[in-house]
Amino acid sequence: MATTATAPALPLELSSTRKPRRFALARRTIMTPILLSLLILAIAGLTVLTGSKPFNQAVIDVFVRVILVVGLYVFIGNSGVLSFGHIGFTCLGAYATAWLTINPLMKRNSLPGLPEWLLEMRLPYWQSAALAALFAGLAALVFGRVLMRLSGIAASIATFAVLAMINTVYSNWEDVTGATSSVVGIPIVRTIWPYVAASIIAIFIAWAHAISRSGLALRAARDEPTAAAASGVDIPKERLVAFAISGVVMGLGGALMAHSIGVVTPDTFYLGLTFTTLSMLVVGGMNSLSGAVIGVVLLSALIQALRWLEAGVPIGTVTFALPKGLQEIALGVIMIVILALRPAGLIGNREITLFRGNRNK
């Protein structure tokens, strides 16, 4: 397996990108999502072979994080704008699937403020996950109409404001979200394969956007904003497209996260999850789909190891346990080291492939 550099999508290249050229680009780059999907399938197969329920749940958590970090990559990686607000769309997706799948009697007791048609509705988890993803994507489209006119630190601060606003609304809207109380009764999906399928779908969505004309235009604006604008690239529009697509992926991740644990609270989708997912993207490589997935796998393995050590590991007659909260400190230290030694992340701007010398143009 080799890695190949991702060449900047320059305006000159963009102007000559027609269907035959894009089909050739798709053929040259298709191995990246295929190899990443095979990695996901290999992890799932190993999990099934072990037959361990705790390990099964840990791997489900990994796949949920893959969806979320890939969703971040769709916008951050292609636009170069750091977003602190995407976990807000994860929250929207999680609560949407809760509204659609909880027993109607339980909803009437705990969430009486929901519309009558929603109180009576109860869908299978896969249908609710799809609708929750669309709901989050629509919300991202609405917010993005305003936010995508901003750039740099102003845009990042504005996305954080969106996260804070969603968290505040969901933490106080008692009749609809249960406020700070836990919303329970969400059907729990223990089998690993729906999460595998959703992870692979997210990877291919990110790849398809990256090789599309919109993705090429957005990366051109990221690398050469002045030249891209002069070549006719509508930068706010292309950012909005990526923002909405990433909102869909984040909503899908939120829905599956809700079905993996069976309970949701607003604080689950706030600063802690924001920091964790951004750390994984930065460590792997913000400008690389491969980096997004590999960053999740590596840091998830580290987090799980630290959790086991925090819980205590018996060594003879002594139980060795690390201080609580060490995993957050470890993530911070790793981010500092990676940014100091490899500012572009472990994978950098490259993608995994079977062939050397093919540029992802």
CA–CA gap between residue 311 and residue 58 (Å, rounded): 15
- At 97 the pLDDT is 97
Q: For 10, left (φ over 0), alpha (ψ -120 to 50), or beta?
A: beta
Q: Is 202 exposed, middle or buried (0-12, 13-18, 19+ CB in 10 A)?
A: buried
CB-based contact 295:283 (threshold 8 Å): yes
- At 44 the pLDDT is 96
- At 16 the pLDDT is 45
Both structure tokens of 104: 């109607």
Residue 295: CB atoms within 10 Å: 28
Domain ranges of the chain: 9-283
**Given the structure tokens 């924001």, which residue do they identify?**
274
Buried b (16+ CB within 10 A) or exposed e, 83-107: bbbbbbbbbbbbbbbbbbbbeeeeb
pLDDT digits 0-9 by tens, 20-34: 676 777 888 899 999
Residues 278, 282, 287, 288, CA torsion sign: negative
- At 355 the pLDDT is 64
- At 11 the pLDDT is 45
Residues in Cβ contact with 308 at an 8 Å cutoff, skipping those fewer than 6 apart: none
**CA distances (Å), origin 104, targets 97, 135, 179, 185:** 13, 20, 19, 10
- With a cut of 70, list the residues of the chain below it in pLDDT: 1-20, 22, 355-361
Q: Is 11 exposed, middle or buried (0-12, 13-18, 19+ CB in 10 A)?
A: buried
5 three-state secondary structure: strand
CA–CA gap between residue 186 and residue 92 (Å, rounded): 15
CA–CA gap between residue 56 and residue 262 (Å, rounded): 16
- At 106 the pLDDT is 93
Residues in Cβ contact with 283 at an 8 Å cutoff, skipping those fewer than 6 apart: 295, 298, 299, 334, 335, 338, 345, 346
CA–CA gap between residue 251 and residue 96 (Å, rounded): 9
- At 40 the pLDDT is 97
